Amino acid sequence: MINGKSVAVCAAFALGALSCGKTESTPAHKPMVSNVTKQSFGQTTDAQAIDLYILKNANGVEASIMNYGATLVSLKAPDKAGAVADVVLGFDSLDGYLKPEPYFGAIVGRYGNRIAKGRFTLDGVTYKLAVNNGENHLHGGIKGFDKVLWTARAIDSPTKPGVELKYLSKDGEEGYPGNLNVTVTYTLSPANELQIDYLATTDKDTVLNLTNHTYFNLSGGAAPDILGHELMINAERFTPVDAGLIPAGELRPVEGTPFDFRQPVAIGARIGASDEQLKRGKGYDHNFIVKRTGPGLELVARAVDPASGRVLEVLSTQPAVQFYSGNFLDGTLAGKGGRIIGHRSGFCLETQHYPDSPNHPAFPTVVLKPGETYSQSTVFRLAAR
């Protein structure tokens, strides 16, 4: 108890420079207890200081987020025997994130996923975006939100530590209209929930689809791939894609297909099946439509690593989720601890709107107008059994 308290007090001092306002208003005899610390994570090539914000709870769960790309760098969680391991892919140092890499842990925007031919029409104006994925636009363009510096502020709280990250995307950035003010907040709860809240406003009509691109491997690196993880996705339909992974507009029932994850099934059980959609995605790289019971946070998916007993539940306010089975990971990158990041060594559950929505009026709208506030939340809830 005494030890626990003194550790927490130290954490508050470590944060001193960040939370001067709060520290000043706290009586000297009763120091603010904090579970968020800040440490340097190096510098970008243009000498911008990058910081890591480390959120901790009393159960040994720890999330580290950096201000470059508002990226979740590590997420440590106990297994059924209490052994803590990092369950997300990435790198030990900033260096890895500054080289080409597939969006490990990053916030993706303005538009997560693809926009066909990098083009859409809004209010009669056709906007031309960067084409960076075959003939299509992917994940916000050449310099998306994953590659920019966010302004970060620690949220000092003994029970719900967090970090708030802000970014102003200027009118015309990567071809998108409107000055867009984005705030992304990560908070860690005592119930092992890492919640990501997204807010945005604009001064001109624009389109927006924010997500987080974390790759999970709940074995903490013990298993070389995620094919043995059992996955449930709360979806009755998905959006089939063409060869460029653009949906044609159809909402196809998952029933009777390898896309039926309504009951838990190993990711690898059907991934090699002879199926046109799996062939196009080189595995799973598809958008599943969440079966909703109402507005608000809905259970989207549950993944279980049977060996470690770690469980991940994803809840979200978003209408859909891109389930990506790490098909483009090819062993050319070395990640944490120098370990090779092998084929399908991580999976993503990117909660979001449907791909290419700006070109599909029948899909739920992704248009944000001045005076409106974009608001979405996603929770990564960790457990072990």
Binding mask 330-359 for ligand GLA (x = CB under 6 A): ------------------x-x---------
204 neighbors 177 (Cβ within 8 angstroms):
yes
Closest CB 92 distance from ligand GLA, rounded Å: 21
User: Binding-site residue total for ligand GLA (CB under 6 A)?
Assistant: 11
Closest CB 350 distance from ligand GLA, rounded Å: 6
Phi, psi of 94 (to 5 degrees): -60, -35
Residue 237 or 286: which CB sits closer to ligand GLA? 286
Q: Residues 102, 144, 175, 335: which binds ligand GLA (CB under 6 A)? A: 102
355 neighbors 113 (Cβ within 8 angstroms):
yes
Name the active-site residue from 164, 229, 350, 360.
350
Residue 177 or 247: which CB sits closer to ligand GLA? 247
Residue range at the interface with ligand GLA (CB under 6 A); choices 49-57, 190-198, 320-328, 375-383? 320-328
Residue 85 or 148: which CB sits closer to ligand GLA? 148
Name the active-site residue from 139, 213, 229, 360.
213
| Beta partners for residue 252, in sequence order | 238
Q: Residues 328, 370, 372, 375: which binds ligand GLA (CB under 6 A)? A: 328
Q: Count other Cβ atoms within 10 Å, centred on residue 268.
A: 16
Closest CA to 67 of 160, 157, 189, 167: 167
Closest CB 86 distance from ligand GLA, rounded Å: 20
Closest CA to 66 of 233, 180, 184: 184
Residues numbered 133-162 forming contacts with ligand GLA, rule: CB under 6 A: 138
Q: Please indicate whether residue 213 is annotated as part of the active site.
A: yes
Kindly state the helix (H) or strand (E) to which residue 238 belongs, with its residue range: strand 235-239
Is the CA virtual torsion 313, 318, 324, 329 positive or negative? negative
Closest CB 369 distance from ligand GLA, rounded Å: 27
Residue 138 or 182: which CB sits closer to ligand GLA? 138
- Helical ranges in 227-363 per DSSP H: 276-281
What is the number of H-type helices and E-type strands within the chain? 4, 27
Residue range at the interface with ligand GLA (CB under 6 A); choices 17-25, 203-211, 322-330, 376-384? 322-330
Residue 80 or 280: which CB sits closer to ligand GLA? 280
As given in the structure block, the two tokens for residue 153 are: 């502020």
Binding mask 221-250 for ligand GLA (x = CB under 6 A): ------------------------x-----
83 neighbors 219 (Cβ within 8 angstroms):
no
Residue 322 within binding range of ligand GLA, rule CB under 6 A: yes
Instruction: Provide CB contacts within 8 A for 17, sequence distance 6+.
Output: none
Residue 88 within binding range of ligand GLA, rule CB under 6 A: no
Residue 245 or 290: which CB sits closer to ligand GLA? 245
DSSP 147: G
Closest CB 140 distance from ligand GLA, rounded Å: 11
Closest CB 301 distance from ligand GLA, rounded Å: 14
Is the CA virtual torsion 228, 229, 230, 234 positive or negative? negative
Residue 103 within binding range of ligand GLA, rule CB under 6 A: yes
DSSP helix/strand/coil, 11: helix
As given in the structure block, the two tokens for residue 337 are: 């601890």
Distance of CA 65 to CAs 48, 54, 104, 311, 334, Å? 16, 7, 12, 21, 20
- CB burial of 357-380 (b: ≥16 within 10 Å; e: otherwise) equals bbbbeebeebebeeeeebebbbbb
Residue 278 within binding range of ligand GLA, rule CB under 6 A: no
Residue range at the interface with ligand GLA (CB under 6 A); choices 66-74, 166-174, 192-200, 321-329? 321-329
Distance between CA atoms of 383 and 218, rounded to whole angstroms? 10
Closest CB 113 distance from ligand GLA, rounded Å: 6
156 neighbors 34 (Cβ within 8 angstroms):
yes
Residue 324 within binding range of ligand GLA, rule CB under 6 A: yes
Q: Please indicate whether residue 350 is annotated as part of the active site.
A: yes
Residue 215 within binding range of ligand GLA, rule CB under 6 A: no
Which residues participate in catalysis according to the annotation?
213, 350
Question: Which stretches of the chain bind ligand GLA, using CB under 6 A?
Answer: 102-103, 113, 138, 245, 285, 322, 324, 328, 348, 350
